[in-house]
Structure 1
Amino acid sequence: MRRNSTAAIALAVGVGMALASCGEAADSPGPARSATAESPPSFSVTVPPSSPAPASAPPTTPEGEIDKLAATNGWVVDALYPSVSAFVRDMCESLPVSAIDGESRPQWLAGHLKGDGQAVLKAGIPKLCPTWTKTLEEAVSGDYEVWLSNGDYEVSSEQQPGEKSVKPGTYRIKGDLENCYWERLTRSGEIIDNNFASAAREITVTVRASDGLFRSEGCEGAWKPVR
């Protein structure tokens, strides 16, 4: 009986020691934790600089409007001009002095209506030189006073815009006329009437509907209709 009691006591002591060891392990505080809470990861955000406000478009000029319209419609003019608006500008600047070359202003302008010239000038003259709008209308209609300079003019009852033609009627030239020659011809080229003036101040000629051609040579100035 004593041997069994001793064994029991030893077992009880062993279990107690094991329990004490487990308790110590449970009560151990373990590694210390930081008292400060961990901060969330930070992210840097780069804000792009604000784009400058787009500059306002420059105001549209009359020249720009004409060139844009020409580009839209495919209008072209003489390659002498860098742009369609330059052509219109040249017409505007030339109109005030155009009559000194022996043609009325509508007659002179009519000579520039061929091809796209008419459309270009109808769009451009009211914008760049509206003073000459009425002159343009006369040139387009063909209803204008024809002045005759030196050259050959076909006699026609209807004025042909831009062509060297003359309506039947009476014409007069004034000035210091020297070596001025004129003639009326049939359509076959036969002379109906003519005259050579070595010196004169005024000459008057009547062109008839039956004439084919009127010719003027060496006459300084312009033959103008007698009203």
Structure 2
Amino acid sequence: MFRLSFPSPGRRRRVGTLLAVVCVSTLVIALGELSGDDTAEAAQAPARPASTSRPSVAPEVSSSPRLTAPARRTPAQRLDALGQAEKWDLSGSSASEFTQDACDMADETDSRPDLAGESVAQALAMRVASADSGADALRVGIPVLCPKWTKDLKASLSGHYDRWITDDTYDIGTEPDQIPPGTYRTAGDIADCYWERTAANGDVIDNGLVTVARRITVTISAADSTFTSDNCGVWTPVH
């Protein structure tokens, strides 16, 4: 009679333990092979290139234009603007040019009166008379461009100023290019000086020829028509 025999409980535990060990070992080997394959594939894969994207740059912010205050006009520019607005006739010159020429003339006359042969007020009066709007331009321009000559300008505009006499023949009167009646004197190293007073008909009222002198004085009458001076230096009014 055939009998089935079963292992004892202790043997069954040993066999179970052995089977568990075998299974675990097989799993470890399989996992190791899989990990090795992944490592090889990773080694053979080309390196991923570094990022070539440019760093982001903040967009430029356009600044609004800076507001600047309008430039202030110079005194000469303001004078020219006034001259244009008033339509001054200055013989083709601008108001500032006309005035600056008068300022320079006054400076030169004051620095070398012996060479100029005229007073500052007399020079300014001649400048005023050189253009139809000369008085308007200098009345406004000189206090702005050369204020030191303002007093002399007022005298020239009033007609009451010293007139100096040099070598020439002058009409007697009160216009800028005339000589008013009065007493005049010349001084210095005078040699071969000739002077002459004449009437309206050309007759000689008085004259003199001075070979050598240090001072000569002559009185011009309101009835005189002209006065002539030759090589006598500069005659100035006697006050």
User: How high is the TM-score relative to the length of structure 2?
Assistant: 0.67
- Equivalent of residue 174 in structure 1, options 180, 187, 212: 187
Residue equivalent to 1:225: 237
Q: Aligned partners of 1:131 and 1:112: how far apart in 2?
A: 17
Residue equivalent to 1:125: 142
Supply the distance in 2 between the matched residues of 1:67 and 1:193 (Cα, whole angstroms): 50
Once the two structures are TM-superposed, the CA of residue 110 in structure 1 deviates from its matched residue by 0.4
Given the alignment, which residue of 192, 204, 215 partners 1:202?
215
Name the aligned partner's letter for residue 69 of structure 2.
Answer: S
Q: Which runs of 5+ in 2 are unaligned?
A: 1-60
TM-aligned CA deviation for residue 49 of structure 1: 5.7
Query: Does residue 87 of the first structure (1) align with residue 98 of the second (2)?
Result: yes
**Higher helix share goes to which structure?**
2
What letter is aligned with 1:96? D
1:111 partnered with 2:121? no
2:74 corresponds to which residue? 61
Deviation by residue 1:12-53 (Cα, 9 ceiling, x = unmatched): xxxxxxxxxxxxxxxxxxxxxxxxxxxxxxxxxxxx966514
Give 1:37-56 correspondences, 5 Å limit. 51-56=64-69
SS in 2 for 1:180: strand
Q: In the TM superposition, what is the alpha-carbon distance from 1:147 to its structure 2 partner?
A: 1.3
Distance in structure 2 (CA, Å) of the matches to 1:122 and 1:85: 12
Contact 1:76-1:84 within 8 A present in 2 as well: no
CA drift of 1:202 comes to 1.1
Match of 2:228, SS state, is: strand
The one-letter amino acid of 1:103's match is E
Counterpart of 2:237 in structure 1: which amino acid?
Answer: P
Task: For residue 124 of structure 1, report the CA deviation from its aligned partner.
Answer: 0.4
Structure 1 position 204, deviation (Å): 0.9
Q: Deviations over 1:131-184 (max 9, x none)?
A: 11111110000011111112122223xx22x22x22222110011222221100
Counting aligned pairs with the same residue, the percent is 38
Q: How many residues align?
A: 173
CA displacement 1:100-148 (0-9 Å, x = unmatched)? 1111111111001121111110110011111111111100000111111
Measured after TM superposition, the shift of residue 71 of structure 1 is 1.0
Note if contact 1:177-1:199 (Cα within 8 Å) is conserved in structure 2.
Answer: yes
| TM-fit CA distance, 1:209 | 2.1
Specify the code of the residue in structure 1 equivalent to 2:167.
N
What pairs up with 1:3-42 in 2 under 5 angstroms? none
Give the distance between the partners of 1:96 and 1:201, measured in 2 at CA. Answer: 28
- 2:31 match: none
In 2: Cα distance, 1:119 partner to 1:204 partner: 37
Partner of 1:137: 154
Which residue of 103, 106, 117 maps to 1:102?
117
Give TM-score, length-normalised by structure 1. 0.70
